Amino acid sequence: MQVATYEMWNSASMSFAIGPTLTAGAIEVLTAHASEDLKEIYLSRLVSGE
């Protein structure tokens, strides 16, 4: 389902499609390198889409 959705977003607007990719990257970086305080503040919001 994810691949099909990405394909539709990329076909419609490449700049719109990049948003979820950047969010996924931010989640990975925070998980690997951020302090516990930063994780507490940002991770739940990024994952939920807030």
Average pLDDT over residues 25-30: 95
- Which distant-in-sequence residues (6+ apart) come within 8 Å of 17 by Cβ? 6, 9, 10
| Assigned token pair, 34 | 């951020």
Handedness of CA 44, 32, 26, 5 (dihedral sign): negative
pLDDT of residue 3: 85
Which tens digits make up the pLDDT trace of 4-17? 887 887 888 877 77
Question: Does the pLDDT value for residue 41 go beyond 80?
Answer: yes
pLDDT of residue 4: 85
Percent of the chain at pLDDT exceeding 90: 48
The closest alpha carbon to 27, from 1, 50, 47, belongs to: 47
Contact criterion met (CB below 8 Å) for 27 and 19 = no
